[in-house]
């Protein structure tokens, strides 16, 4: 805490003692005034919503009427009543599958790009910029572009696959292909992870690589024995944040599977019905705000557990 | 030899990254029938004669009938108000948290940081409810006020302010300068790099944001660009690739321009911030 330190300094001898009296009390006032807008925002749009979401998760509520207390019924119904919430577990499974495919795919793509970029000098900035381009693109535009790329008849993906003799697929209308197709888009947008990996690579002292070369290690050995272990903190960070983001994937899926107006279904046989898309439907299409709040707390607890497990079981420190 | 293979791999990866955009732009200039071809063309060519046949009709359609012109203006307005206001509020708070001692400051800061850990989705439903209670639902205010500060930005700015040398400030204090004078004349000018990062990432986030405008607006007059584009994708009439690609091009172009102009700052900034709101 800084306050007592300053008190001692302002009253004691030395340069700072010459500040005018009353400056400390005025500092308190100015301090509170400066944080007041941010604090108001925090209380109104963060703390209050967080607490009220918890409260509403125990109620039956549709935004328009009074919320009525139902205790744990929302939680119990979501988890166990597959007549009332037939797609809850489906959305859980879709989201887990997406996370398990998209996160590793993104990390591998990002690391590969970072390694390649780190190995060249000329043109590195240009390539970095081009590889970063997909990240700054709005998810609405990404969804729109990829719907067109995945078009079964005229899409570029099928045409390119045709060139190497692979038969075209109806990517976004075949239940088994929906998650891989979405995960590929995520890997296409790996630019942020790529930049962070690149920063990690720059942080590895050249002397370690040189020592490995002198010891006769080939490129493959150097990667697995030196580079990758040194990048462990970076990988751990990207893994934790990547999993948290993947478990909440929404906008892209919403654009791709929003279909005609109000009839969002989450893709063929709900194969693209991610957890948050399902939550959105309950909150804003089916007027079940209480259930949606309960869903968001189930997700919150799940994210905390998964994150804790990663901290417990994944190696974080550089070797 | 090894060097050459690295470049080949990079060119292929860059192509995967960029070709979708080239195809988007090409499609946006094509006449309807010309986009349905067996062999894809990156140039707007006439399907039958193979001659150059670019058109601006798709843009005219989406800007007018598709409502993207109006949405573009809305997006510009929202960003023009939201980004500077947010930067100011965040910087003032960050300065107080970093430099002005007052009782309870550090505890309060820890509480705000803890609040940041709650996933955005948990807050969405009640945040809409709060926005409604404040009478801002389905209004321009609703697009701006509920996003007017960011705990993460306050955190980043505070870290930077802490790293500034304290001597300048102390000298100014002794010379009788007020806190606000120090903030405007000394701290902000020294903080241009981090202010730039926060401004650019905020702009990108809010320009691209789909979810909040989707939830807080009903009136098509208020739609921002991502939302109008999503509506275009979803509409049975506009769901045609040449319209949608024209819309997507309109949404992406300003962002590409910002990326090209500020690439160094953005890419440096990402290494320590990630891209966020």
| Chain A residues close to B217, C-beta within 8 Å | none
Q: In the structure encoding, which two tokens stand for residue A3, read together?
A: 């306050």
CB contact under 8 A, B176 and A20: yes
Residue A155 binned pLDDT confidence (cut-offs 50, 70, 90) = confident
pLDDT tens-digit profile of A170-199? 999 899 999 999 999 999 999 989 998 998
Complex ipTM value: 0.88
Q: In the structure encoding, which two tokens stand for residue A66, read together?
A: 């009074």
* Domain shared by B12 and B109, yes or no: no
B contact test, residue of A4, A112, A138 with most B CBs within 10 A: A138
Work out how many domains chain B is built from and give that number.
2
pLDDT tens-digit profile of A287-296? 889 999 999 9
Residue B116 binned pLDDT confidence (cut-offs 50, 70, 90) = confident
Residue found by looking up tokens 């869903």 in the block? A295
Instruction: Write down all domains in chain A, each with its CATH number in brackets.
Output: 26-74 (no CATH), 85-316 (1.10.3720.10)
pLDDT tens-digit profile of A204-242? 888 888 888 898 888 888 899 889 999 999 999 999 999
Task: State the Cα–Cα distance between residues A150 and A156, nearest whole angstrom.
Answer: 7
Indicate whether B273 pLDDT > 70: no
CB contact under 8 A, A46 and B100: no
Residue A42 binned pLDDT confidence (cut-offs 50, 70, 90) = very high
Calculate ∠ Cα B204-B207-B213, nearest 5°.
135
Indicate whether B245 pLDDT > 80: yes
**Which of B24, B103, B207 faces A28 most closely, judged by CB atoms?**
B103
Domain that holds residue B85: 56-275
pLDDT tens-digit profile of B146-203? 999 999 899 989 988 998 888 888 888 888 888 889 999 999 999 988 898 889 889 9
* Domain shared by B73 and B132, yes or no: yes
Which of B12, B35, B54 is the endpoint of a domain? B54
Residue B125: its pLDDT value, please? 85
CB contact under 8 A, B126 and A133: no
Task: State the Cα–Cα distance between residues B87 and B148, nearest whole angstrom.
Answer: 9
Residue A12: its pLDDT value, please? 40
- From B28, which residue of chain A is nearest by alpha-carbon distance? A145
B contact test, residue of A30, A35, A53, A187 with most B CBs within 10 A: A35
* Domain shared by B109 and B181, yes or no: yes
* Domain shared by B87 and B208, yes or no: yes
Q: In the structure encoding, which two tokens stand for residue B111, read together?
A: 């509480």
* Domain shared by B38 and B68, yes or no: no
Q: How far, in whole angstroms, is CA A185 from its chain's centroid?
A: 14
Whole-number average pLDDT of chain B: 88
Residue B274: its pLDDT value, please? 55
Q: Residue range B81-95: average pLDDT?
A: 97
Query: Are A277 and A265 spatial neighbours (Cβ–Cβ below 8 Å)?
Result: no
* Domain shared by B95 and B218, yes or no: yes
* Domain shared by B50 and B84, yes or no: no
CB contacts < 8 A, A to B, total 286
Task: State the Cα–Cα distance between residues A237 and A231, nearest whole angstrom.
Answer: 10
* Domain shared by B24 and B111, yes or no: no
CB contact under 8 A, B108 and A39: yes
**Which of B18, B102, B128 faces A27 most closely, judged by CB atoms?**
B102
* Domain shared by B87 and B49, yes or no: no
Task: State the Cα–Cα distance between residues B79 and B70, nearest whole angstrom.
Answer: 14
Residue B263: its pLDDT value, please? 85
Where is pLDDT greater, at A20 or A254? A254
Q: Residue range A265-274: average pLDDT?
A: 87
* Domain shared by B41 and B165, yes or no: no
CB contact under 8 A, A251 and B241: no
CB contact under 8 A, A251 and B211: yes
Lowest-confidence region among A86-95, A233-242, A301-310, B49-58: B49-58
Q: In the structure encoding, which two tokens stand for residue A58, read together?
A: 């125990």
Residue B92: its pLDDT value, please? 96
- For chain A, count helices (H), then strands (E): 17, 2
The SS3 of residue B175 is: coil
Q: In the structure encoding, which two tokens stand for residue B215, read together?
A: 């939830």
CB contact under 8 A, A251 and B210: yes
Assign residue B140 the CATH number of its domain: 1.10.3720.10
Residue A17: its pLDDT value, please? 47
* Domain shared by B221 and B99, yes or no: yes
* Domain shared by B98 and B46, yes or no: no
| Chain A residues close to B123, C-beta within 8 Å | 45-46, 49-50, 53
| Chain A residues close to B247, C-beta within 8 Å | 144
Residue A20: its pLDDT value, please? 60
Lowest-confidence region among A13-17, A94-98, A114-118, B211-215: A13-17
Indicate whether B258 pLDDT > 80: yes
Task: State the Cα–Cα distance between residues B114 and B112, nearest whole angstrom.
Answer: 5
Q: Residue range A47-63: average pLDDT?
A: 91
Task: State the Cα–Cα distance between residues A201 and B1, nearest whole angstrom.
Answer: 23
């Amino acid at each position: 805490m800084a306050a007592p330190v300053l008190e001692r300094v302002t009253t004691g001898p030395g340069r700072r003692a010459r500040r005018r009296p009353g400056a400390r009390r005025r500092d308190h006032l100015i301090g509170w005034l400066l944080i007041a807008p941010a604090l108001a925002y925090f209380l109104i749009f963060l703390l209050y919503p967080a607490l009220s979401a918890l409260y509403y998760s125990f109620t039956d509520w549709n935004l328009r009427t009074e919320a009525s207390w139902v205790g744990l019924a929302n939680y119990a119904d979501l988890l166990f009543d597959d007549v009332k919430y037939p797609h809850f577990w489906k959305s859980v499974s879709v989201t887990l599958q997406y996370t398990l495919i998209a996160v590793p795919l993104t990390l591998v793509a990002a690391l590969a790009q970072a390694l390649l970029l780190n190995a060249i000098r000329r043109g590195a900035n240009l390539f970095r910029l081009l590889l970063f381009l997909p990240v700054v693109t709005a998810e609405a535009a990404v969804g729109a572009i990829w719907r067109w790329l995945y078009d079964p008849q005229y899409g570029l993906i099928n045409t390119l696959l045709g060139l190497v003799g692979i038969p075209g697929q109806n990517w976004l209308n075949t239940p088994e292909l929906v998650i891989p197709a979405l995960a590929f888009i995520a890997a296409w947008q790996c630019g942020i992870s790529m930049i962070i990996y690149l920063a990690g690579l720059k942080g590895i002292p050249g002397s370690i690589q040189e020592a490995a070369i002198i010891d006769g290690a080939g490129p493959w050995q150097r990667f697995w024995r030196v580079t990758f272990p040194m990048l462990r903190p970076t990988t751990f960070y990207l893994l934790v944040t990547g999993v948290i983001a993947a478990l909440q994937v929404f906008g892209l899926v919403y654009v791709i599977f929003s279909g005609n107006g109000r009839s969002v279904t989450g893709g063929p046989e709900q194969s693209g019905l991610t957890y948050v898309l399902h939550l959105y439907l309950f909150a804003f299409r089916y007027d079940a705000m209480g259930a949606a709040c309960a869903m968001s707390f189930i997700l919150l607890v799940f994210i905390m557990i998964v994150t804790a497990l990663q901290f417990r079981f994944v190696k974080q420190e550089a070797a | 030899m090894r060097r050459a293979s690295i470049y080949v791999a990079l060119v292929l990866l860059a192509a995967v990254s960029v070709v979708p955009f080239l195809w988007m732009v090409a499609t946006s200039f094509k006449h309807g029938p010309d986009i349905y071809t067996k062999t894809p063309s990156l140039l707007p060519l006439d399907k039958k004669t193979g001659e150059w046949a670019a058109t601006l009709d798709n843009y005219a359609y989406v800007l007018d009938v598709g409502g993207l012109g109006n949405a573009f203006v809305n997006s510009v307005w929202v960003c023009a108000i939201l980004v500077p206001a947010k930067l100011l509020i965040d910087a003032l708070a960050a300065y107080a948290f970093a430099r002005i001692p007052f009782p309870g400051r550090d505890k309060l800061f820890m509480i705000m940081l803890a609040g940041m850990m709650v996933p955005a989705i948990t807050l969405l439903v009640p945040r809409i409810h709060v926005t409604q209670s404040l009478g801002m639902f389905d209004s321009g205010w609703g697009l701006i006020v509920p996003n007017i500060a960011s705990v993460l930005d306050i955190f980043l700015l505070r870290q930077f302010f802490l790293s500034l040398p304290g001597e300048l400030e102390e000298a100014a204090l002794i010379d009788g300068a007020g806190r606000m004078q120090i903030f405007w004349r000394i701290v902000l000018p020294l903080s241009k790099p981090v202010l730039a990062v926060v401004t650019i990432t905020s702009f990108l986030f809010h320009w691209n944001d789909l979810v909040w405008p989707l939830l807080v607006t009903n009136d098509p007059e208020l739609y921002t660009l991502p939302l109008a584009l999503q509506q275009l994708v979803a509409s049975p009439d506009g769901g045609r690739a040449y319209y949608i690609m024209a819309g997507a091009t309109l949404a992406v172009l300003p962002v590409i321009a910002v990326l090209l102009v500020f690439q160094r700052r953005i890419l440096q900034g990402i290494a320590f911030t990630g891209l966020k709101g």
